[in-house]
Amino acid sequence: MAALRQTPLTCSGHTRPVVDLDFSSITPEGYFMVSACKDGKPMLRQGDTGDWVGTFEGHKGAVWGVALNNDASRVATGAADFTAKLWDAQSGEELRGFQHKHIVKSVDFSADAGLLLTGSNEKMLRIYDLAQPEAEPQLFKGHTASIKKVMFLPDGETVISCGDDKSLRVWDRRTGEATRTVELPAAPMDVEVSADGQTLTVTHGKTVSFRSVESLEEFKSYSSATQLFSASLHPSQSVFVCGGEDFIMYKYDYATGAELEACKGHFGPVHVVRFSPDGELYASGSEDGTLRLWQTTVGKTYGLWKCVEATIEAKPEQTAA
């Protein structure tokens, strides 16, 4: 029997490169995905099908970072217009804007969605209390170059950041101080925290590095032949995916590092990849202006993919609405 071919779903709608994405947790209505794009119009979609739900309009520059809270009721965005914005995910209404002094590259919600974290080209992190949005934010200083990625850990008291100064840092939210710092051989392009909150997946140069959240010590790393921009670890920690400069989506066995798939589909560098909360698919955003959804188990009936007698009943380059 011939091997099944990976057939991604293509989510069109953006007009410029897609540079970030985020999934919600699983809600009674399924799960959702939000995407950041240089066209300045982040989009919300149904996570398992890619079907368009709505577009958030209000930024006056490229949107670099996006976040969905767990129940998919709120969206946060960071943009080149020096603002972060908070949105109602159901109505699309802008709830509040937070002014910065430079481009906002990354945003994240605390687990309870009570706090908003931002990282910017100001070389600092800010935390806003959404119950008191007019109050001055808490500032975290220490990076010596633009910040690439920020995130809360599940405990809500610990913050992770990485920047163009080639550093990865852990911060104590209560004190505002960096408790651990690691210098990397190249500027980290992406960081993700695992579903169990124990492992950091760090992408830098041609390497995907796996590090302990507690100590930041590296316990596993794999190298690629191409410059990598993003990687994501499956919720079960069985496989990880990554993408970068050569347009290809790679899947590797997490335990052995064996390459399992190398799939073409994008027509530009891959800027961001993330697994869905149920692990059934992963999404990728590219310089080509599209989001694509890929099956973790090729040929399985899931979402818009239909499996009939071991063949995929889906049109090549099937496009989600």
Burial class from Cβ neighbours inside 10 Å (0-12, 13-18, 19+) for residue 195 reads middle
pTM over cut 0.85: yes
Architecture of domain 9-320: 7 Propeller (2.130)
Contact 64, 79 (CB under 8 A): yes
Give the pLDDT of residue 4: 79
- The pLDDT value recorded for residue 69 is 96
Q: Give residue 238's identity as a one-letter amino acid code.
A: S
Q: Which two tokens stand for residue 230?
A: 């993003």
Annotated domain spans of the chain: 9-320
- Quick count: other Cβ atoms within 10 Å of Cβ 222? 21
Summarize pLDDT for 112-124 with one digit per residue, the tens. Answer: 999 999 999 999 9
**Contact status, residue 49 vs residue 320, Cβ threshold 8 Å:** yes
pLDDT of the chain, 321 residues: tens digit per residue: 456 788 899 998 999 999 999 999 999 999 999 999 999 999 999 999 999 999 999 999 999 999 999 999 999 999 999 999 999 999 999 999 999 999 999 999 999 999 999 999 999 999 999 999 899 999 999 999 999 999 999 888 999 999 999 999 999 999 999 999 999 999 999 999 999 999 999 999 999 999 999 899 999 999 999 999 999 999 999 999 999 999 999 999 999 999 999 999 899 999 999 999 999 999 999 999 999 999 999 989 999 998 754 444 444 344 454
For residue 137, how many other CB atoms are within 10 A of its CB?
A: 19
- φ, ψ for residue 192, nearest 5 deg: -135, 145
